[in-house]
Every structure is written in structure tokens, then in C-alpha cells.
Structure 1
Amino acid sequence: MTATRNRNSRQARGKPRKQPRRKVKQVSIFDKILRAMPVTEAQVQKGLTWGLVAVFILGAYSVAHYSGINERIKTEVAEAVGKAGFEVKRVEVTGVNRIDELKVYEITLAQKDRSMLLVDIDEVREDLMANGWIKDARISRRLPDTLVVDIIEREPVAVWQNQGQLSLIDKTGYPLEQISKEEMPDLPVIVGKKANLKFTQLDALLDVAPALRPMVTGATWIGNRRWDLEFDSGETLALPEGEETASAALLNFARMDGVNRLLGRGVVHFDLRDAERAYLRMPPKPAPAEPDSDGPEI
């Protein structure tokens, strides 16, 4: 029995002892991403915390906005400011030349709320821009009680005649206001349907012949395709179609007039529509006077 126990103990000593298995710690993808980022885990957690706070604040603001709380607070603050003396009492207008300054005052002071904070600057500007003479308007607040209105007016450069109606237009062709024949200013007259929309083209055309520009008193837009120019000496110049072709023809006419003095020589009409030759029309000759039947006999 003793021998058997000793043999078993020797066998146990000769057999290697089994080591317990270690558990391998699994690393999640999120942990790998955090380790790859150039920030610490504490910084990431701090950023997430502030992000949640920001979302909460934004949500609270949205709720207040859609429930009308913000507007009520804004209105009450603005009314308090107005009662404290910050109420619109004066309007300063600059840049007005042709339009009625009183009309600008009326539009500016038409706001329901006179508190400096409640005056809708954009709405005032929109109402002013409805006036055809106003090209631009800038409105600003000057505390404690003044609105400053800076007006940029449109400049009339021609009279547009269409279907018997006369209108002043600016250099873009924008109609400013209708006028009567008695109110006609000393400006060129352009005639024709939609001729006002072609005024920028006419202006560029006259730039090629600056010596002739002061002599041009009017222009007629013919068939929605070409111009007839009228001069202060009574002649009419028919130009061809196309901007480049018309410019070349006008430049050639200006050169000929500079050499031979074509204008003021009794010609009624110059026709340059043909690229090969120019045509002239002279005034009709007066009919010979008939002898007086009741005159004395010779």
C-alpha cells in the first residue's frame, strides 16, 4: 500500500502541472477608434457632454420660438425702450432732388410701432423702392429718436414715346413717370414699342461717334430690329440691322461728315442700310407758281 502511494506520488511529480487559461480581453471597434484619435477619452467624453447641453439649449430655444415667447419678450423690451425715450420722432432725408420729400417722410413714419427697436427697416426700404424715381434707399437708426434715410435717385436721360404716351426713362430704360408735351425736357426722344429696353444699345451705338452724339435729338426703333437717328439739323439717318453693322455704318458716316460736312446741307434722309452704297434723299422741289388769271394782260 505504501509502495503504491509512493509510485503514484512519483508519477504526479513527473507530470507537468496544467496552467489555468487566461481570458483574452476583447477590444471593441469604438475603443480602437478612440485610441486612433489624437484626443484622450476624457476629452471625447467632455465634448459629448457639451454637445448634449447645446442640444438641450437649442431645443428649449426652438420651443420658446414656436410658442411665441421670444416675440413677446422682444415686443415688451422694445416697448420699454420706446417709453424710455427711444422712439422715432425725427426723420432725416438726404439725396432727394426730384421726388417729393414729404412723401418720403410719410412712408418712413407709416410704421405702426414707433419704438426704435420695432421699426422694420427692410419694410420701409421696400415701400420707398416702389417709387419709380428711387434707385436705392438706405435707412439707419440714430439713437435716441432719429431715422436717417439716404435716397439715390434715378437720372432721366431720355423721353420714351410709345402709342402717344411720353415717359421719362433712365439709362437702363426704366420708366420714371409719364409727362405731357408741355413738360418735355431738353432730352433725346426715342420712339417705338419696347424702344426703352433698347436704350442701352443705342447709348453704346452713339459712343462710337462722340462728335455726332450732341447733334442727335431722337431715335426710332424700327421693326424691333434697327435704328433711325434724327439730327437737330433735320436729317434722318437709317442704320442697318445688327449692333456691329450699325456701329460700323455710323462710324463711317461720322468720318464722311467730318470731311464733307453732310449735315446741314439740305439732305432730308441718309440711308446706310446697304453695305455697298449710301442713298440720299433731297427735299421735293417746290411746284412752279401758276400765273394769276386775274392779273393784268401784257
Structure 2
Amino acid sequence: MASIMRRKPAPRRESSTPRASKGQVRRVSPLKPGLRNARNWATAHMRAATYSRRGALRMFSVIASFTLFILFSGLWLGGFLPDIRNNLDEYSRTRLIAMGFVVDHVDVVGEGRILENEVQAALGIRPGDYLFETDLRAAQQRVQSLPWVNDAMVRRLWPDRYVVHIIERRPMAMWQSEQQLRVIDTDGRIIEAALPEDFAALPRFIGAGASQNAKAFLVSMTSAPLISEQVDLIIRVGNRRWDLQLKDSGARILLPENGADKALLRLSKYHDSHRILDLDIETIDLRLPDRMIARPRQDAGSTVYVKRKGEAA
């Protein structure tokens, strides 16, 4: 009878990990791969794409971005990106040339001593060239490097034209240094292409530092136009002050370091009343503010003319 009786089933061992009841979120161990979470994320987005347009657009953008990333990575790793870029540039260039974007005219505005063909040669642009192939900044720098050019601006005008505006350097004076005579502009820079014999009427400066200070001194000489007309040489002394040498008499006028314009005006007024520049004088010293000393030539006697401030002549 005992054999006929059924055995009792062995009691079930309770698991140490509590099972999640219905409606509860099952906790995933952090040691397991995250594929289940990725699958749940994809399932959720697919379900959202099914029920709403925004979800569908979001899902499509994610797929497209991932595809483009894979494609770009493959092209970059394979070294195909430079070839693709070159092909696109060549295609664009060919299409624009076919549409008429080629150089037909190069206009130079403001040329005087510099010739138009010299500007075009420095520009490096010829009729028939592709309009967008030239680097405007580099072309402008080449034009500005020409001897007579003070400033230049290069513009591209669609569809077939380049325009170059030039401001030429203006000769201001001649500067003699180390037995060499050169023409300088209003900034005191040497104009290498200018020939001194073509500008004999310009004022002539001598001495170190004369070119940098020539413009300011010519402005101060405007206070005495009668004297400036008789000046032959303007001499820089010690890079501090100026001496003037007159044309006909050869007399030398010594000017102070400061206030040269006032000293010239004082001499001009004294010449109007006493004709001092017509005398046989070797030097006229104006370096002292309260007096003017005139020294005659040695063969004309030893008389020294002194004019004190406030005294009658």
C-alpha cells in the first residue's frame, strides 16, 4: 500500500531574488550588456513614429544622421574627400564659365605716370580668365608694390570685369644723402622710379633725417613766402634744426630748433623794412629769440648787424 501511495513533491526552493510582480519594472543588472535597453529605446521610438508625425520625423532624422555619419566616416577613412572636393570645384568652375563669368575687361582708374599695361601685368589677370580664380588681396598687394603707387584698390564686378583704382605718389622734394640725389614723396619715402632731373623745380633737402621731417618744415615755410622763393638748399643740422641757403647770394640762414616759422616771419618783416637779404651777408643767425645777428662776408668788412627785440634798427 505504501508503494501505491504517491510521493509528496519536494518543496520548491525560494529564489533569493524577489520576482517582479505584474505591473512592476524589472531591474536589470548593471553587469549585463545594455542591448536590452537599446532594444527598448528603439521599440519605443518605433511605436512613437507609428502614432505621431513628430515621432516619425524624429525617427527619420536619427536614421539619416546615423547614415550620414557612417558615410562620411567611410569617405574620410578612405581618403576620398579631397577628390570629391576637387571634382565639385571643377564642376562649379565649368558651369560658371559656361554662364559667362570670364574676364573681358580690366579697367585702370587714376593712372598718370604709371602705365595701364604695367598695372595689368602686376595684377596678373588677362581677358578670358575665370572671374573668381584671382585672389583679390594678393592682386592688390602686387599693384601696391609698383614704384609710383601709393595706394590701390582692386574690385571684381560681375559678370566680366575687374576695376583697379590707383592713388599715385606725389613728388614733394628732392633729398641728397651720401652724394646721391633722390625724389621723395609727401611721406618722406624715396620714389625709386623718379628721375631727379625731371623734378629740378622741387625744394632740395640735405642731411640725415631731412626726408622724414621735410613735409612739416615746408608747411612752416609758408609763413614767409618771399624767403622760401629764394631758398636753394634746406639743410638738416644734427637732426635737430634747419639751415637755409639762398640761391643768389649764397647766404646761410640759421634757424632755431623750435619756432622756425616765427623766426622766418621775423626775418621776412625785417627784410621788408631794411632789405637785409640784399646785403653782402654770409650768415643770418635767428637761433636766439630776442635778437638777429647778421655776419657779412670777410671781404665785405667786419661789421656785425645786431637787432635786439624792441630796439630800433
Q: Give me the TM-score of the superposition, normalised by structure 1.
A: 0.65
Aligned residues: 226
1:280 alignment counterpart: 294
SS at match of 1:275: coil
User: Distance in 2 between the 1:203 and 1:79 partners?
Assistant: 58
2:256 aligns with one of 240, 254, 259: 240
* Deviation of 1:281 (Å): 2.7
2:131 alignment counterpart: 116
* Deviation of 1:147 (Å): 1.5
Give unmatched runs, 5+ long, in structure 1: 1-48, 50-55, 287-298
Aligned pairs (5 A) from 1:14-53 = none
Determine if contact 1:78/1:116 at 8 Å carries over to the other structure. no
Aligned pairs (5 A) from 1:249-264 = 249-264=263-278
User: Distance in 2 between the 1:201 and 1:75 partners?
Assistant: 56
1:147 aligns with one of 153, 157, 162: 162
* Deviation of 1:120 (Å): 1.4
Distance 1:284 1:117, change over 3 A: same
Q: Give me the TM-score of the superposition, normalised by structure 2.
A: 0.62
User: Distance in 1 between the 2:116 and 2:255 partners?
Assistant: 43
**Greater CA drift, 259-268 or 99-108:** 259-268
RMSD: 3.4
2:147 aligns with one of 132, 135, 145: 132
Query: Percent identity at matched positions?
Result: 29
* Deviation of 1:179 (Å): 5.6
SS at match of 1:99: coil
Which string of whole-angstrom CA distances, capped at 9 and with x for unpartnered residues, describes residues 23-65 of structure 1?
xxxxxxxxxxxxxxxxxxxxxxxxxx9xxxxxx9xxx9xx9xx
SS at match of 1:268: strand
User: Distance in 2 between the 1:70 and 1:215 partners?
Assistant: 70
Distance 1:101 1:185, change over 3 A: farther
1:156 alignment counterpart: 171
Determine if contact 1:173/1:198 at 8 Å carries over to the other structure. yes
2:283 aligns with one of 265, 269, 278: 269
* Deviation of 1:146 (Å): 2.5
2:218 aligns with one of 178, 191, 203: 203
Give unmatched runs, 5+ long, in structure 2: 1-57, 59-64, 74-80, 301-313
User: Distance in 2 between the 1:157 and 1:76 partners?
Assistant: 53
Which string of whole-angstrom CA distances, capped at 9 and with x for unpartnered residues, describes residues 86-113 of structure 1?
22243221211112332111111258x9
User: Distance in 1 between the 2:255 and 2:295 partners?
Assistant: 15
User: Distance in 2 between the 1:265 and 1:76 partners?
Assistant: 84
Distance 1:136 1:184, change over 3 A: closer
